[in-house]
Amino acid sequence: MVKLSVVVPVYNEEQTVTQVIAKLLKSRQVKEVVVVNDGSTDRTRTKLKRLKHRKLRVFHKANGGKGSAIRHGLKQVTGNYVLIQDADLEYDPSDIPALLDPIKKKRVQVVYGSRFLGPHSNLLFWHRKGNDFLNFLVNILYNTTLTDMETCYKVMPTKLLRELKITANKFDLEPEITCKLLKRKVYIFEVPISYVGRDFSQGKKITWRDGIDALRVIFSLRFRS
């Protein structure tokens, strides 16, 4: 039986955080929502204080980046499977049943939601090219055929994610998870998801510097014994 915990890292998402959490709490697939406020400086903390639900737990910490927030949340989850959910509404919780379906059928243990296999709004040109390049490198270096290594929507057994011993503090969390799974010879099953990307004026946070961090992780893990 899949008991799904969702970890929601949050940093300055006062416009969307309550909507995202409301959607997660309404989902029958979600058994627990663990929100980690990563030192937000806007009204995110105030909005989170108003939320009460039997499935919801909220934690606050000093700002350390997405990776550090997820590692904090991972220590708190009680479900046997875990999903990462950004708080900005780029990813739609209504796609969660599609992510869990292959797991419930006992076909695979790790599922990624691919933004590029499903319907999506136009992405920023250089973000898309950066995604393509990082995917290309991972596919060549790790002998796989992923379409969206950087996707936020990753579902896997909680025990497995903890065993990966993630160290990343920022957005390099995504390639670290993927590369460590591939080095373990864990097969990743991709399903299409919908995606509505933001630009920087709407709060987009990832930049070219995060791409450099991703390159460092991809190469260092590939050639580490």
pLDDT at position 195, please?
86
E strands, the chain, where? 4-10, 30-38, 56-61, 81-84, 110-114, 154-157, 188-192
Q: Does the pLDDT of residue 202 top 70, yes or no?
A: no
pLDDT at 187: 92
Residue ranges of domains in the chain? 4-222
CA distance 82 to 6: 6
**Matching residue, tokens 């997820």:** 70
Nearest to 162 by CA among 181, 149, 141: 181
pLDDT confidence of residue 184: 95
Mind listing the pLDDT tens digit for each residue in 148-195?
998 999 999 999 999 999 999 987 899 999 999 999 999 999 999 988
Q: pLDDT tens digits for 128-141?
A: 677 788 889 999 99
Neighbouring CB atoms inside 10 A of 184's CB total: 11
Enumerate the β-bridge partners of residue 91: 195
Position 106 scores a pLDDT of 85
Q: How confident is the model at residue 201 (pLDDT cuts 50, 70, 90)?
A: very low
In the prediction, which pLDDT does 210 show? 65
The strands making up 4-10's β-sheet, listed across from edge to edge, are 56-61, 30-38, 4-10, 81-84, 154-157, 110-114, 188-192
- Choice between 93 and 200, residue whose per-residue pLDDT is larger: 93
> Which tens digit of pLDDT belongs to each residue from 91-121?
999 999 999 999 999 889 999 999 888 666 5
The predicted pLDDT at position 137 comes to 93
Residues 131-143, buried b or exposed e (16+ Cβ, 10 A)? beebbebbeeebe
Q: CA-to-CA distance for 190 and 107, rounded, in angstroms? A: 12
Q: What is the pLDDT of residues 10-57, one digit of tens each?
A: 999 999 999 999 999 999 999 999 999 999 999 999 999 999 999 999
Separation of alpha carbons 137 and 160, rounded Å = 24
pTM beyond 0.85: the answer is: yes
What CATH number does the domain located at 4-222 have?
3.90.550.10
pLDDT in tens, 46-89: 999 999 999 999 999 999 999 999 999 999 999 999 999 999 88
At a CB cut-off of 8 Å and minimum separation 6, what does 3 contact? 31, 32, 78, 79, 80, 81
Residue 126 binned pLDDT confidence (cut-offs 50, 70, 90): low
Instruction: Label residue 3 by pLDDT band (50, 70, 90).
Output: very high
